[in-house]
């Protein structure tokens, strides 16, 4: 089975339709006000309305409070949440809702312990570390740090582009690849040609 492709940072219904047409398997909506790809809950719900049943709708949150998470679940009705901040296992699991746990690959990270502590049905997303940004950095980390053997869905993010995604898939063999800035013409604006090439290169790898 070919790798799944998630296009993150969708900011309009038009973009959502375009990336689905290009073959994306999952779409990410960023409800985090410090992101250049931020959409509010109302806008996210509007975009959610055009995501068909063949694609997953994922809402990315960073250190949101419990009330906001509950509001997102009720009003946006995503398929998955993606916790991309410093949320504890207890926080993520209290909602009884399937989620992806993002792990930012800082130096000295005990990867096995981090994975073991979360019950992330949607999988674990591995992203580059940044001291001041929660994802969306455009930076790549050393893929060799990821375990070859695993019993969870591995989602690879961080610095992926149309020209390197095939190598990433061949090396890491992830369940899913996740891209945001690598297929944009400017922050929050997806480029149709880049999206199409990215999806094709990922699927053919």
Question: CA 28 → CA 64, 81, 117, 171, distances in Å?
Answer: 16, 9, 24, 24
CB-CB neighbours of 97 under 10 Å: 17
Please identify every residue annotated as catalytic. 8, 127
Q: Is the dihedral of CA 105, 191, 42, 44 positive or negative?
A: negative
Q: CA 70, 74, 75, 79 torsion: positive or negative?
A: positive
């Amino acid at each position: 089975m070919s790798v799944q492709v998630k296009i993150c940072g969708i900011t309009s219904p038009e973009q959502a339709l375009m990336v689905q047409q290009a073959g994306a398997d999952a779409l990410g909506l960023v409800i985090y006000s410090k992101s250049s790809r931020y959409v509010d809950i109302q806008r996210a719900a509007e975009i959610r309305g055009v995501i068909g049943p063949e694609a997953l709708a994922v809402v990315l949150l960073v250190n949101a409070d419990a009330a906001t998470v509950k509001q997102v679940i009720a009003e946006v009705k995503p398929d998955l949440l993606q916790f991309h901040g410093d949320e504890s296992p207890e926080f993520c699991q209290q909602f009884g809702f399937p989620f992806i746990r993002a792990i930012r690959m800082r130096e000295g990270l005990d990867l096995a312990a981090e994975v073991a502590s979360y019950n992330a049905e949607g999988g674990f997303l591995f992203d580059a570390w940044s001291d001041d940004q929660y994802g969306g950095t455009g930076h790549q980390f050393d893929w060799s740090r990821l375990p070859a053997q695993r019993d969870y869905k591995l989602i690879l993010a961080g610095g992926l582009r149309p020209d390197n995604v095939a190598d990433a898939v061949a090396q890491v063999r992830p369940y899913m690849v996740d891209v945001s800035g690598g297929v944009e013409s400017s922050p929050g604006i997806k480029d149709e040609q880049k999206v199409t090439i990215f999806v094709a290169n990922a699927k053919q790898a």
